[in-house]
Chain A
């Protein structure tokens, strides 16, 4: 009976008082096209990484907007940066720059040779 296909979902309340929504605003300054996204999911449909695993750029995008950073860095590390998503985007969002900046923000990545 244990595995009967249904389970109780975890509560998915987003507390907007504590959520960090500033991160997305900052990102929009660097990648203004991010604001244009209509969440159509074309990027996810064409994604090379999504072909292998459950990586989902659209989901990452929503999580980042809402300030849900838990596990997001590991998720973004799955991206191969091939750039197909950028070419299929009907709203011409620079998805690559979007992921690039999210990665840098979340992973605290630094430049090796830039002080």
Chain B
């Protein structure tokens, strides 16, 4: 396996040693190691060790975009860039890669695909779910490979290249699609699920659900009310009623 593919495979587990202190730092160092060994093989051992140590320092980014930083840092090390400059590059990339990835993937692609899959379940069944998983993983692998190659190509100029790329625009689009998909999924899933409990008043369930949703976003209650807490409270209260009426 080439060093590039070793790095790609390792990037799939970039958060395996995630901590609150170093975040993805160790994972990024692990992914960068084969590329550093390959590109710095003609350099003294001390230089190689220093490069590996730098690559494993604190780093925070979205896991799917960590490859951008891995590629850029490896390219900078290969070009003989000074250590402090490489550390500044890592610091500069940390925020944008985290924010862009969160917008594109966690707030975009994932809820969009899951929302569409959930909305399609009543008609397509489990094949809608399977399709979402396949599409997500194709996009995820593509993004990882694209990010690593972009970093390797651009090196220190990767920040500008990232801004000029399709990523910021698609992040916005993905979030809009996610908003639409989740909006679509909520009534369809409610209808699909409530068909299974004909003894329960659908209007009551919808009314309580909407009230819970409003409480979860209203400024006086949003810090304390989460969907999970609403659900657990409702289940507990209903359980008491069911037990009492036995």
Same complex: no
- Chain B residues packing against A (C-beta within 8 Å): none
